[in-house]
A and B are shown apart, each in its own frame.
Chain A
Amino acid sequence: MKYADEFRDGGRAAALIAEIGRLLAQGAAARRRPVRIMEVCGGHTHAIFRYGIEGMLPDALELIHGPGCPVCVLPIGIVDDCVALAERPGVILATFGDAMRVPGSAKSLLQAKADGADVRMVYSPLDALALAHRNPEREIVFFAIGFETTMPATALTIRRAAAERIGNFSVFCNHITIVPAIKAVLDSPDMRLDGFLGPGHVAMVVGAAPFHFVAEYYRRPLVIAGFEPLDILQSIWMVVKQIAEGRCQVENQYARTVPERGNAAALRAVTDVYELREFFEWRGLGSIDHSGVRIRERYAAFDAARKFALPHARIADPRSCQCGEVLKGVIKPWQCKVFGSACTPDHPQGALMVSSEGACAAYYQYAGLRRSQAGAA
């Protein structure tokens, strides 16, 4: 596959890893602990495990798997709202596959479906709009999640529905923005990070500018990274090189896809359809100011939160679950008390076990670590 295979070459990977090791060795004596780099985006977490990148890296480097998986940070209360919507007579609830398995307080959307609710998996919000065309007697609700990458797709679908004057389509909007979450992670007192891999597909929409505060204010290097193995290794090398040279900059490794200024058309659609929420509740991280968007008044007819009465209950994360500590990189997934025992991909307790972009599911699937082994270590 073009633009993929060229970025998977094993020889080049070995050269990069050697170079990363050489740079790390330079500053090792003064540092006395591994360099910690957070990959913010769940897509990177997934690729890192899929290609076994973590195991190839020198011990002097530690990757911390960040909060950038929209499924993993969905609060229980929102899943419950969704289940309530799905169980309303006449409603078809459409959403992405990953969102269906996130546990709510009583059930997930998948369980609601097994109990008789009409829940459909779609690939695109446009597929949900097509459902509305095909089922004029039903109410179609699209459960919208995702970061800036996904926001424009939902916004353009809402605009299309408005232009077509569709009356039986609405969106339960739970889009969130990654930048305030990076700030929350940097402000967290139990966190020591030396640099970041920036989320490539978010940057493709918003551009590089929103990440400058990381370098300028927090004095940490950030490299906007692609998703193939060589992209990730080259980005790690770029971060390590900045550290070795005492620089803090925002660099763009993924320039083939990420224009410096982002995507103007996508940003126009986003600004037209959404406004910032004062705060948004993240599973594991708590409330983060200005970290979510809602649908503007002018598109109120397509806003499921206005159209239907929702329970809007706020439900605390289960006590046994340590997703928040994993998300912040304070503990490794296998250090969670229920990892691999009460919490597995088939029976997830926390959302990090649901999606293959969640650190726990990624460890479970690819690292082959079970709690018994980890406990012995």
Chain B
Amino acid sequence: MCLGIPGRIVALDDAEAALATVDVCGVQRQVNLLCVIDDEHPFDACLGDWVLVHVGFAMSRIDDAEAQRTLALLAELGDSDVG
């Protein structure tokens, strides 16, 4: 139920309703962006963003720097184990 899937915003459809098209693994569907936009990051700035999609709404903008940090930590663990 709390399933969320990462997807990329590939088209901005309707600014008034905050609707955009998101590509999730090659499947495109319309999602609502109200939870990921604000004055600093308005609707028009969202094209290309990676977001976490849940029941038709983008619920979080995925932070690539944090993703890389987590992966780096995992890599470190693996290396220390081998060494």
Contacts and interface: CB of A to CB of B under 8 A. Distances in A.
Interface stretch (A1-9, A57-65, A210-218): A1-9
B15 to A, nearest CB: 15
A123 B50 CA distance: 20
B11 interface: no
B59 A152 contact: yes
A252 B60 CA distance: 15
B2 A41 contact: yes
A256 B63 contact: yes
Contacts of B36: 263, 265
B57 A357 contact: no
Interface string B51-83: 010111101101110110111011101100110
Chain B interface: which size bin?
A: 35 or more
A269 B54 CA distance: 16
Nearest to B59: A204
B67 A256 contact: yes
Given A234-B70, A234-B74, A256-B63, A265 B38 contact: yes
Given A18-B81, A256-B62, A156 B57 contact: yes
Contacts of B70: 231, 234, 253, 255-256
A273 B54 CA distance: 19
Interface string A1-41: 11110110101100110110000000000000000000001
Nearest to B73: A234
A114 to B, nearest CB: 24
A330 to B, nearest CB: 23
B47 interface: no
B45 interface: no
Contacts of B57: 124, 126, 152-153, 156
